[in-house]
Structure 1
Amino acid sequence: MKLFCYLVLFVGCFGFSQTERYEITNLEINNEHPHYGLMCASANTIIFTTYFLTKKGKVKKVSRNTVLAIFQGELSENGQIINIYPIGVDAKYGITRITSAAISPNGKQLFLTTNYSDKDRPSGSFKDTNFHIKVGEYNEALGWTNFKVLPFCNPKFSYAHPSLSADGKTLYFTANIRGGKETTKGGSDIFKVDVLENGNYSEPKNLGSKVNSYSKEMFPFISADNTLYFASNRPNGYGGFDIYKSTMNADGAFLKAIKMPKPINSNKDDFSFIIDAQNKTGYFSSKRNEGKGDDDVYFFTINR
């Protein structure tokens, strides 16, 4: 009887582990430069972050700093990202280092992560390395323009990695806010705000201990079915940053985050996970050993 129970347990566990099989592909866009900050722009387009290159193929620099920019591409039938071009940002705002971005579901707003520049440097003391989130609107002649720092961004803290819900009414991001009820538990936590009318936002709310840890949480993505995917370097992972997911319940609260399986995760940094509305295909970034250089983008399909 004891042997039979062990066999049932083994078969049950094996069967459960095989309910979802992930097939991953290293994309042709990858090279020695990093590619990350993945976010859906529409059903068949994607945006990501990488270095801006000169006509000679060298990394462009402004004031000795490398230029990080947002690029947009179309999705091919086999998952490759093709017809890639840089997103045009109005030059008068002096934004030359964008680490991540998100386009609103209606395509009218661009939320991006950057540092303060001489044009919008706030008064008072703060770390120059702190990030904040700006929002801009699209103009046919100027590209993305009219950028404003989101009103809840305090320059004493760092804010990054915006992601919008499918209805555009909730903005998720990472921050290291300190003090008060919504203080950050670790190096960075995931927060959310309600997107209100007339450019207003609610106060940031920490997603709590079922999502956040005493380590770093980064690169949140909220899927069409309100599953939150993010990266964390918390203990008991495979190594480096791993990708986790947390499901939203009927009350709008997130359940305890669980670690994604291999080959989505590896013993190196894995992050920037996004998935399509049908939960069948998606992308993530990884610095795993078999990659082409720095952070590579991988396409995955799920076979159930």
Structure 2
Amino acid sequence: MRKKLYIILYMAVVLVVLVSCGADAAMKKGDKFYALGEYYDAAAQYKKAYSATPAKERTTRGERALKLADCYRRINYTQRAIAAYNNAIRYKKTDSLTHFQLAQQLMKNGNYKDAAKHFQTVLDSMPDHRRARVGLRSAEMAPQWKDAGSQYTVKRENFFNSRRADYSPMLAGDEYDQLYFTSTRNDVKGDELSGITGTKNGDIFVSTKDEKGKWTKPEGIDSELNSDFDEGVCSFTPDGRTMYLTQCLSDPSYPRYATICTSSRSDASWGKSTPLEITRDTLSSYAHPAVSPDGEWLYFVSDMPGGMGGLDIWRVRLTASGTGGVENLGAPINTEGDEMFPTFRPNGDLYFSSDGHPGMGGLDIYIAKPDTVMQGWKIEHPGFPLNSQGDDFGMTFEGLHNRGFFSSNRGDGKGWDHIYSFENPEIVQTVKGWVYEQDGYELPEALVYMVGNDGTNLKLSVKGDGSFTQQINPNVDYVFLGTCKGFLNHKEQLRVEPVGKSEEYVLQFPLASITSPVLIDNIFYDFDKATLRPESTAALDELIKLLNENPNVTIELSAHCDYRGPEAYNKLLSQRRAESVVAYLTEHGIAADRLSPVGYGKEKPKTIRKKLTEKIPFLKADDVLTEEYIKKLPEDQQEICNQLNRRTEFIVLRTTYGMFDKEGNLKNPPKRDAAKEAADDDGFDDLF
């Protein structure tokens, strides 16, 4: 009997030792995963070790509960984190950091009353703990924000969402008809599960609108852009040709540092990403890129030295030769907490997420508006329901309107993020302009100078389709000057009145070529005469406006006939017609020495430009409408070609008229005014 008892006791001791060894081994594995940042795998090992630790080993059990809580906190398992922190406190493994982090998790769970108690516990022992003070204020303000609500409406967009994480949406395209976002759904490349999240590594997906304006099923970008590693959180340059994205490579023996990469678009395909060197620091993370609306700065998130604590938002200048001049945004944007996911509304407002400002729990979205008086930023909290007790981040906007998409893990027990839409029905007045070659295509290299009598002075780039969109203010007079190298300028004026709902004004900027003949459309003469018909005045008045906007230009005004009729007679008739147009222009204030009337008769048949072939399909670009060419066509097509040959055009002869005196000196040399140049370097301050 005694021998049997000894055997039982021996086996119990062996079992305890084995369990203890198993727990220790699990802790070592967990610590290794933790050091690599693989918190999901570390949590699995810590949980095994915690469960294998006898309850009487209170100190050890408390330490392991605390490590488990830290992992759950990092992977957004909020409920499990709260339970683990409470266990650590129960086993007397507690300090101010434990209470602070538990309070943060309680905030994310919407338990503001208990969160306030734990923040207060921290302040009782550390009265100068600024983050705890902010946390206590958050716990007091959050219920008020929730009760007050706001004008925002929010909706979960399940069409884009999967059973895994979907986050950081970004609208793109000239009409905002492309939605890029990051997803860890099963369709991503690679089969390996991330040790950080327990899901597959993220890829960038895209959904586009079809011809009916409906979103199509999201698909992973089918190019080398996505890899077996983590890609996501993308942003685009204003011309849409370059993507900045975050990539996180895997290394089984080295911590994973996020890096920012770039990808260029060729036709409709994104190329393989290449790392962007921001600094030579290889031991810091660089993530969440956001290109400023003017394309001159890249905003990003980093934990590099020199920050204010945790993750900060930084920016670096983008130049033709690369990046240069890294700046920390500083206060009031950055705090001792984490500031992440910067993004811009096209009007210049910076949106970002933070757990260091007073908020409702987790990451809240904040708006940083430029403060021209203080030369800094003014921070706003947009309230509920844009913000919630969960993590809210990753805003993207449909143009200048306050609507678009964002991501949040609100209400998700596993802490996974999903895509939501939002809208704030504020009144936004905008102007949309189109810059294009007169009788030709859009001019994506154009610039538009915008001047308002409220002090507005902007230089606007256009998109790939030659368009621009800009917010405007009521009770302001604006002047817009469309410019492009190789073309004459075109000016438009706009008076903006107050309105009761959002409104968009549309302006056209047809630019006349300096090097090619420009058709003056809708010029009509009496039959077989040179007399201008009354319906010609509208087109001629536009020509007068163009010449007044470009006072240093001289032109040849030419009239043309078709091949039918006596050649000498047609040449004389076209000369008289050209002179009739010149007479009209001089009668309306255009100097005669800026105009050269020439009648060509049939000598210069029209050369077809590509744009015209879209309206007249039987013609091809660069066809010349000679008599020989026309006579080979069917009669109905012959008449169309003859009509095209009967035309009035102008071509620019000089662009320096009136600029020089008799000695060849510039009449009005620019005067250097440093103060004025600092305020306005575009040379168009006298548009009014």
Kindly indicate whether residue 213 of structure 2 is the aligned counterpart of residue 213 of structure 1.
no
Out of 181, 184, 193, the position equivalent to 1:51 is 184
Partner of 2:386: 264
* 1-structure distance, mates of 2:214, 2:268: 30
Out of 68, 73, 77, the position equivalent to 2:202 is 68
Partner of 1:9: none
Question: Match for 2:179: what amino acid?
Answer: I
Out of 314, 336, 345, the position equivalent to 1:223 is 345
Aligned residues: 270
Q: CA deviation at 1:204?
A: 1.6
Check conservation: 1:39, 1:274, Cα contact below 8 A.
Answer: yes
Change (3 A) 1:127 1:203: farther
Q: CA deviation at 1:81?
A: 4.7
Out of 170, 175, 192, the position equivalent to 2:315 is 192
Check conservation: 1:216, 1:233, Cα contact below 8 A.
Answer: yes
Question: Match for 1:71: what amino acid?
Answer: F
Deviations 1:43-79 (A, max 9, x none): 222211002524xxxx654455423100112358999
* 2-structure distance, mates of 1:129, 1:251: 42
Kindly indicate whether residue 149 of structure 2 is the aligned counterpart of residue 27 of structure 1.
no
Change (3 A) 1:276 1:172: same
Question: Match for 2:381: what amino acid?
Answer: K
Deviations 1:22-42 (A, max 9, x none): 111110222321111222222
Partner of 1:13: none
Check conservation: 1:132, 1:158, Cα contact below 8 A.
Answer: yes
Partner of 1:36: 167
Q: CA deviation at 1:86?
A: 1.6
After TM superposition, the score normalised by the length of structure 1 is 0.78
Check conservation: 1:165, 1:223, Cα contact below 8 A.
Answer: no
Partner of 1:245: 367
Gaps of 5+ in 2: 1-147, 195-199, 427-688
Q: CA deviation at 1:273?
A: 1.7
Check conservation: 1:111, 1:136, Cα contact below 8 A.
Answer: yes
Out of 214, 219, 223, the position equivalent to 1:85 is 219
Out of 320, 323, 345, the position equivalent to 1:201 is 323
Kindly indicate whether residue 429 of structure 2 is the aligned counterpart of residue 302 of structure 1.
no
Question: Match for 1:32: what amino acid?
Answer: R
Kindly indicate whether residue 282 of structure 2 is the aligned counterpart of residue 155 of structure 1.
yes
Check conservation: 2:203, 2:227, Cα contact below 8 A.
Answer: no
Q: Counting strand residues as a fraction of each chain, which structure ranks higher? A: 1
SS across alignment from 2:424: strand
RMSD: 3.1
Partner of 1:8: none
Check conservation: 1:111, 1:135, Cα contact below 8 A.
Answer: yes
After TM superposition, the score normalised by the length of structure 2 is 0.36
SS across alignment from 1:195: strand
My pick for the range that moved more, 238-247 or 105-114, is 105-114
Kindly indicate whether residue 231 of structure 2 is the aligned counterpart of residue 98 of structure 1.
yes
Deviations 1:97-116 (A, max 9, x none): 11311122212212111124
Deviations 1:115-173 (A, max 9, x none): 2468xxxxxxx953211101121235973136233343621110100111222211111
Check conservation: 2:182, 2:203, Cα contact below 8 A.
Answer: yes
* 1-structure distance, mates of 2:209, 2:309: 36
* 1-structure distance, mates of 2:208, 2:268: 22
Q: Higher relative contact order at CA 8 Å, sep ≥6: structure 1 or structure 2?
A: 1
Check conservation: 1:217, 1:232, Cα contact below 8 A.
Answer: yes
Deviations 1:235-264 (A, max 9, x none): 531111100110023489541322221000
SS across alignment from 1:202: strand
SS across alignment from 1:274: strand
* 2-structure distance, mates of 1:80, 1:278: 21
Partner of 1:7: none
* 2-structure distance, mates of 1:98, 1:290: 23
* 2-structure distance, mates of 1:230, 1:241: 9
Question: Match for 1:289: what amino acid?
Answer: G
* 2-structure distance, mates of 1:44, 1:117: 33
Change (3 A) 1:148 1:234: closer
Change (3 A) 1:31 1:71: closer
Question: Match for 1:184: what amino acid?
Answer: G
SS across alignment from 2:231: coil
* 2-structure distance, mates of 1:244, 1:267: 14
Partner of 1:110: 243
* 2-structure distance, mates of 1:79, 1:141: 20
Gaps of 5+ in 1: 1-16, 119-125
Question: Match for 2:183: what amino acid?
Answer: T
* 2-structure distance, mates of 1:276, 1:260: 18
Check conservation: 1:116, 1:128, Cα contact below 8 A.
Answer: no
Question: If you compute each CA radius of gyration, which structure gives the higher value, 1 or 2?
Answer: 2
* 2-structure distance, mates of 1:196, 1:139: 21
Change (3 A) 1:223 1:216: same
Q: Counting helix residues as a fraction of each chain, which structure ranks higher? A: 2
Q: CA deviation at 1:303?
A: 2.2
Question: Match for 2:155: what amino acid?
Answer: T
Change (3 A) 1:289 1:279: same
Check conservation: 1:76, 1:82, Cα contact below 8 A.
Answer: yes
